[in-house]
């Protein structure tokens, strides 16, 4: 079994490629409601097995892939030592491959046992997808507020005296009220009186062009009270186009006051003056979280209208909005509307979008940092003549263009609170990430990513639990810890995580010495250390951090010497320091710095120095 390890790895790699294609197809079918809940559970098990295959393959590439031939007498002894050291790893990987093959057989058996093979052909028994925007077509005029200005502008464009063909696009994120606005313009008397014929054509996710053309012809004739041509239901696409040509020839968000008015109308069935004083603060917070989205306000207001007008009931919804999104039928339409934008994303953008769920609520993330995280995760794919950073920036711009991500002038980015709640619901379904918080302190050892959100009241308790179970997270790839203020060196607990790629520690450790031991952090590529106020010594053993590419150390004023052993990091391409003591930078000056020899192999060594007058940061590169 061990002797054929390379052949076995090739076999499961081929299996992984097939599984990944299957998962893409399964995700596409799930988005349109074509698979049942039972099949979704089975698909989730297949996805988790794919993750396991990825981990085994990475382990193989790191330790056991074919290497160039050994040369020399000394190398002969090193080869013997190396072979003995790797023998156990070969056996472990071979054993894991056998377990994977057994699991594959079991998963296939489940598919046959429960009839899941129907996934490939589709099933007439599955729930039909209904366009969630239909409800907006039947809103009464007095139920719609805040669209008067864009409605009047669109009407003025449509009824202008100059007659010409024109396309007007109404764009914005899901739930902004685009369909509602278009329908109110379409039904406006000025518009209906201006045009000889008109048609309202909804386009679903799956459609046939001839059906759209056929419906358009019928509506045109109906609007002019003409008879519909005979045989239209049997015409092909070309004939329908000819018939149509011949016939034709003779979110913006609500402002605060409007949002508040709409909420009160839905929640209290009356005007703003009828909001009970005890519910005023909570109500304003709920409206704030809707960020002016009319459909969100209508859905949540309608839900609250069914609740007792007591503080406890409203607090429950305000604090557990994510659960209500999934559970409460009043919010189903809003959820589906926002999910439309997610489902429309190409495969390479979906994990990038989901990554925003790792960021705590009401926080934003710096664009450059976000792109680096995407790259470390492997989300960003190489393109000819472009750097990965440039490709990542294109990804981010596309998400902004699709109105799924909100940006600011200072290059920080976030998602709407309600969009974030839906992202969190996808986390569990796709085993993408687990968010650990005071409300959800239990962990899943199979999680691929872990994001810890907590307040200062429970930080100590969660921290103690964290370092008891964190070594069990064998699939964890990204870990960020803030403000734990440990007294013991955290590297001991973290160094054996086999798949950890990125580690960020901010104000995590109050001790004086940190130690990266040999054979620790074997896959880590990016390491960010900041706010380690008491740290005076950082030691790196030979054999630790063999794949590290980026190392950043910030705001550690007691660290006055370059980390011992940094010259062992042969893969390091970027070393950054920010807010460090002046004597620290003096020690790595190219000409006279006594520690320059330690960092001279690193392509880029960069200091970020804060200007005391302006408060802005300037970069200084010693090599310059």
What are the DSSP calls for 268-288, one per residue?
SSS-GGGS-GGGHHHHHHHHH
End residue of a domain, out of 68, 88, 114: 114
What is the model's pLDDT at position 400?
85
* pLDDT tens readout for residues 450-508: 887 765 455 555 566 667 777 778 888 888 888 777 888 889 889 999 999 999 998 88
Same domain, 527 and 486: yes
User: Would you state the pLDDT for residue 123?
Assistant: 43
Residues 416 and 556 in one domain: no
| Cβ proximity of 331 and 324 under 8 Å | yes
pLDDT at 122: 45
Q: In what order do the strands lie in the sheet with 412-414?
A: 365-366, 412-414, 406-407
CA distance 576 to 554: 8
How confident is the model at residue 580, as a pLDDT?
84
Q: Measured in Å, how far apart are the chain's first and last C-alpha atoms?
A: 54
- Are 534 and 510 a contacting pair, CB within 8 Å? yes
418 and 296 Cβ atoms separated by less than 8 Å: yes
Considering only CA atoms, give the Rg of the chain. 30
Is 431 a domain residue? no
- Domain end residue (candidates: 398, 420, 442): 420
Q: Judge if 274 and 313 occupy the same domain.
A: yes
Residues 187, 307, single domain; the answer is no
| Contact of 241 with 217, CB cutoff 8 Å | no
614: in domain: yes
Query: Which residue do the tokens 């070393």 mark?
Result: 575
Q: Dig out the tokens for 623 from the structure.
A: 């090599």
Task: Count each helix (H run) and each strand (E run) in the chain, helices first.
Answer: 23, 14
* CA atoms within 13 Å, Cβ hemisphere of 227: 3
Q: How far apart are CA 376 and CA 477, in angstroms?
A: 9
pTM over 0.75, yes/no: no
pLDDT at residue number 336: 62
Question: What is the C-alpha separation between 542 and 258, in angstroms, rounded?
Answer: 64
pLDDT at 105: 86
Cα dihedral sign for 61, 498, 424, 283? negative
Query: Which of 250, 275, 292 represents a domain boundary (last residue)?
Result: 250
> Which position has the token pair 């069935």?
269
Q: Are residues 38 and 99 in the same domain?
A: yes
- C-alpha to C-alpha distance for 380 and 480, rounded to whole angstroms: 20
Strands (E), 439-559: 450-452, 478-482, 502-506, 513-516, 526-530, 537-540, 550-554
Strand partners, 604: 574
Residue the block writes with tokens 């790895």:
9
Predicted pLDDT of residue 548: 95
* Residue 323 counted as domain residue: yes
Given a contact cutoff of 8 angstroms between Cβ atoms, the answer to whether 354 and 426 are in contact is yes
Q: What is the pLDDT of residues 525-571, one digit of tens each?
A: 999 999 998 999 999 999 999 999 999 999 888 988 888 899 999 99
Contact 529, 556 (CB under 8 A): yes
Q: Do 435 and 444 form a contact (C-beta atoms < 8 A)?
A: no
In a domain, 139, yes or no: no
> Are residue 316 and residue 385 in the same domain, yes or no?
yes
Q: Which residue range is the domain that position 104 belongs to?
A: 1-114
* Domain identity same for 34 and 105: yes
**pLDDT score for 7:** 81
Q: Is 612 exposed, middle or buried (0-12, 13-18, 19+ CB in 10 A)?
A: exposed
Predicted confidence at residue 25, as pLDDT, reads: 79
Report how far apart, in Å, the C-alpha atoms of 514 and of each of 303, 530, 566, 590 are: 52, 13, 13, 27
Beta strands in 555-602 (DSSP E): 574-578
Q: Is residue 449 part of a domain?
A: no
Q: Give yes or no: residues 460 and 572 share one domain.
A: yes
pLDDT number for residue 100: 87
**Residue 343 counted as domain residue:** yes
545: domain CATH number is 3.80.10
Structure tokens at 479: 């870990």
Exposure of 424 by Cβ count < 10 A (0-12 exposed, 13-18 middle, 19+ buried)?
buried
| Rounded-to-integer distance, Cα 422 and Cα 342, Å | 10
Number of structural domains the chain divides into: 4
How far apart, in whole angstroms, are the C-alpha atoms of residue 52 and residue 402?
33
266, 241: one domain: no
Low-confidence ranges of the chain (pLDDT < 50): 68, 70-78, 81-82, 118, 120-128, 250-251, 456
Pairing of strands 478-482, 550-554: unpaired
Strand 412-414, strand 365-366: pairing: antiparallel
> What is the DSSP code (8-state) at residue 486?
B
Residues 536 and 389 in one domain: no
Residue 132 lies in a domain: no
Measured at the CA of 559, the angle between CA 609 and CA 533, to 5 degrees, comes to: 85
Residues 478 and 601 in one domain: yes
- pLDDT computed for residue 73 by the predictor: 42
Residues 243 and 261 occupy one common structural domain? no
Rounded Cα distance between 414 and 437, Å, is 20
Residue 427 lies in a domain: no
Residues across the chain: 624
């Amino acid at each position: 079994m061990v002797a054929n390890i390379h052949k076995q790895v090739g076999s499961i790699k081929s299996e992984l490629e097939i599984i990944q294609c299957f998962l893409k197809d399964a995700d596409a079918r799930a988005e349109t409601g074509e698979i049942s809940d039972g099949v979704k559970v089975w698909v989730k098990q297949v996805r988790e097995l794919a993750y396991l295959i990825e981990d085994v393959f990475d382990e193989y590439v790191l330790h056991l892939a074919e290497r160039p031939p050994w040369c020399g007498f000394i190398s002969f002894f090193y080869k013997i030592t190396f072979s003995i050291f790797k023998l156990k790893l070969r056996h472990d990987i071979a054993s894991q491959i056998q377990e994977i093959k057994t699991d594959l057989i079991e998963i296939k058996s489940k598919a046959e046992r429960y009839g899941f093979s129907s996934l490939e052909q589709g099933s007439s028994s599955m729930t039909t997808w209904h366009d969630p925007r239909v409800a907006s077509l039947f809103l009464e005029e007095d139920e719609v507020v805040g669209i008067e200005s864009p409605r009047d502008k669109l009407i003025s464009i449509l009824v202008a005296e100059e007659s010409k063909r024109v396309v007007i696009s109404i764009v914005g994120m899901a739930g902004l009220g685009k369909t509602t606005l278009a329908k109110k313009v379409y039904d406006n008397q000025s518009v209906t009186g201006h045009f000889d014929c008109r048609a309202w054509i909804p386009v679903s996710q799956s459609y046939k062009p001839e059906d759209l053309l056929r419906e358009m012809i019928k509506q045109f004739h109906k609007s002019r009270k003409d008879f519909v041509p005979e045989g239209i239901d049997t015409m092909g696409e070309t004939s329908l186009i000819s018939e149509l040509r011949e016939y034709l020839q003779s979110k913006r968000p609500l402002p605060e006051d409007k949002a508040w008015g709409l909420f009160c109308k839905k929640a209290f069935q009356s005007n703003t003056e009828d909001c009970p004083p005890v519910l005023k603060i909570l109500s304003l917070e709920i409206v704030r979280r809707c960020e002016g989205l009319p459909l969100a306000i209508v859905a949540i207001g309608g839900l609250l209208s069914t609740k007792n007008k007591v503080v406890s009931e409203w607090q429950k919804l305000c604090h557990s909005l994510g659960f209500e999104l999934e559970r409460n039928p009043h919010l189903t339409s809003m959820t589906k509307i926002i999910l439309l934008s997610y489902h429309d994303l190409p495969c390479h953008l979906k994990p990038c979008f989901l990554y925003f769920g790792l960021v705590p609520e009401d926080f934003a993330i710096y664009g450059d940092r976000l792109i680096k995280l995407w790259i470390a995760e492997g989300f960003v794919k190489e393109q000819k003549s472009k750097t990965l950073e440039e490709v990542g920036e294109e990804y981010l711009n596309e998400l902004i263009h699709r109105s799924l991500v909100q940006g600011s002038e200072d290059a920080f980015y976030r998602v709407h609170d309600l969009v974030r709640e839906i992202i969190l619901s996808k986390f569990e379904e796709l085993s993408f990430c687990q968010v650990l918080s005071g409300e959800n302190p239990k962990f899943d050892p199979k999680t691929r990513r872990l994001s810890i959100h907590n307040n200062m009241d429970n930080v100590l308790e969660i921290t103690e639990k964290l370092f008891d179970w964190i070594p069990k997270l064998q699939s964890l790839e990204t870990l960020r810890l803030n403000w734990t203020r440990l007294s013991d060196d955290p590297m001991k607990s973290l160094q054996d995580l086999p798949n950890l790629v990125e580690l960020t520690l901010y104000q995590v450790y109050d001790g004086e010495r940190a130690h990266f031991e040999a054979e620790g952090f074997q896959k880590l590529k990016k390491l960010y250390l900041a706010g380690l106020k008491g740290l005076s010594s950082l030691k790196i053993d030979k054999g630790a951090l063999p794949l590290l590419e980026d190392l950043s150390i910030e705001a550690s004023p007691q660290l006055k010497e370059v980390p011992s052993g940094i010259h062992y990091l042969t893969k390091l391409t970027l070393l950054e320091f920010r807010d460090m003591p002046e004597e620290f930078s003096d020690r790595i000056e190219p000409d006279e710095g006594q520690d320059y020899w330690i960092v001279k192999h690193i392509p880029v060594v960069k200091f970020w120095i804060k200007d005391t007058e302006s408060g802005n940061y300037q970069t200084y590169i010693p090599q310059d």
